[in-house]
Amino acid sequence: MRFERNGTVNPVLKDINLEVNRGEYISLIGHSGCGKSTVLNIIAGLLTASEGVVIVDNKEVNAPGPDRALVFQNHSLLPWLTVYQNVELAVEKIFRGKKSKAEQREWILYNLDMVNMSHALDRLPSEISGGMKQRVGIARALAMEPKVLLLDEPFGALDALTRAHLQDEVMRIQGELKNTVVMITHDVDEAVLLSDRIVMMTNGPSATIGQILEIDLPRPRDRLALADNPTYNHYRHEVLSFLHEKQRKVEAIDKHRQVKAKLASKVSANA
Ligand SMILES: Nc1ncnc2c1ncn2[C@@H]1O[C@H](COP(=O)(O)OP(=O)(O)OP(=O)(O)O)[C@@H](O)[C@H]1O
């Protein structure tokens, strides 16, 4: 993937080749700016790859579609609609002519119940907490019955307790519905806890997949029990060492640049 701005070409991603199985939970992890959101936006059809294609269910996709629902870090609810109406909007769009009004209502309630939001159906987004907004965003995405759920740091803006609670809910829902999920995260514990595979990306420019780690931990997973589990800690260590090794490289390159710049300034001062 290349971005062009003011006549300058910026190569962001290169050779991203990833096959995701149906029902699999994949996390993308990598340093800030390496291109994770770009990958997700290409899958969502919001960006078109400079080269290559995205295939979902044997079909090439190059525009947004209801088969791929995206949930952002900053909950994107419409502020003038209630919790119920926010989900209703998506459900009406997808199921118009396919489900009756009563069936649609049942489906909206079912999905809001799934994320434990049945108690706040008539509240506006401004009247609920950040974690609750994120739940509604997830319910709205699930209600679209997407083939692929795309989560862009869905828990990033939440406090630790709410984050843990919502992670558990997403794990439970995914266990029930067997959604295919691609999630961006910066949180190593979150990646290990939730994923079947962790895709670790190298630093940009021309970022690519550096390593893929398979997380072979039985489900359902319990965060407390896993804290003392040596296999869990091994996976955690693998991801941390990947990220730190890459980080060291960045620092090494920066140092190299600093040294070069210092030398250059000395040379020009002596000239
Ligand atoms: N529309 C765009 N036009 C030009 N450059 C872009 C555009 N979108 C992203 N970039 C650049 O592409 C690179 C990757 O950005 P991206 O947002 O995908 O990274 P990221 O890994 O998701 O970062 P973060 O973890 O900080 O959210 C960055 O250098 C960014 O500045």
- Does any domain span residue 172? yes
pLDDT higher than 70, residue 118: yes
Sign of the CA dihedral running 183, 66, 177, 160:
positive
Q: Residue 184's domain is classified under what CATH number? A: 3.40.50.300
- Does any domain span residue 106? no
Helix 130-143 × helix 83-95 angle, to 10°: 20
Report the alpha-carbon distance of residue 152 to residue 74 in Å, rounded: 9
Report the alpha-carbon distance of residue 164 to residue 271 in Å, rounded: 61
Q: Give residue 199's pLDDT.
A: 97
220: CA distance to ligand 1 center in Å?
A: 34
* Residues framing ligand 1 (Cβ under 6 A): 3, 5, 10, 12, 30, 32-38, 204
Nearest to 206 by CA among 45, 51, 40, 62: 51
- Does any domain span residue 220? yes
- Does any domain span residue 37? yes
- pLDDT, tens digit (0-9, with 9 covering 90-100), for 164-191: 988 998 898 888 889 999 999 999 999 9
152: CA distance to ligand 1 center in Å?
A: 13
Report the alpha-carbon distance of residue 93 to residue 75 in Å, rounded: 19
14: CA distance to ligand 1 center in Å?
A: 14
Residue identified by tokens 């525009």 is 63
Rg of the chain's alpha carbons, rounded to an integer?
21
- Does any domain span residue 38? yes
- pLDDT, tens digit (0-9, with 9 covering 90-100), for 188-247: 999 999 999 999 999 988 889 999 999 999 999 999 999 999 999 999 999 999 998 765
- Does any domain span residue 190? yes
- Does any domain span residue 160? yes
Q: Give residue 5's pLDDT.
A: 82
| Residue 216 belongs to domain spanning | 2-67+146-270
- pLDDT, tens digit (0-9, with 9 covering 90-100), for 77-101: 999 999 999 999 999 999 999 999 9
Q: Which of the 8 DSSP states describes residue 13?
A: B
Find the DSSP H helices in the chain.
Answer: 36-44, 83-95, 101-114, 130-143, 160-177, 188-194, 223-226, 230-270
- Does any domain span residue 118? no
Domain tally for the chain?
A: 1
Nearest CA to ligand 1 atom 4: 3
